[in-house]
Structure 1
Amino acid sequence: AALSRYNVAIALSRFRRFADARDFAQAALRDFKKFGAAAANEVEDTERLLAEIDQGIQEQGS
């Protein structure tokens, strides 16, 4: 489920639907964190995606 949510977040962000993308990315991050060290790379990637989404939200608001 976490990987699917992550992929949906990417797709939504490409269509500039940042609020929805953020919701999916946050859900993915919560899911990945449940796996602990085994999902460290996925957690890092998702945190990076959230930063990009937040930047998109800021740019959209300008």
Structure 2
Amino acid sequence: MNKDIAEGKWKQMKGSVKQKWGKLTDDDVQQINGRCDKFCGKMQERYGMQREEAEREFNQLNK
């Protein structure tokens, strides 16, 4: 996904992200701000996901 598109849609997606991944805090969601690298890091930290899996999850957000 294009970085600019993800960052632009992030405000719309915040609620879905928090609902789907409840272990992410409001601060986590704020820090991610639509950036794949930040999202992947938080998913690895909170859920123990592999980076590739976290990237797939990030890409699924806009489908």
**TM-score, L = length of structure 2:** 0.28
Higher RCO (CA 8 Å, separation ≥ 6 residues): 1
Larger Rg: 1
Q: Of Structure 1 and Structure 2, which has the larger fraction of its residues in helix?
A: 1
**TM-score, L = length of structure 1:** 0.28
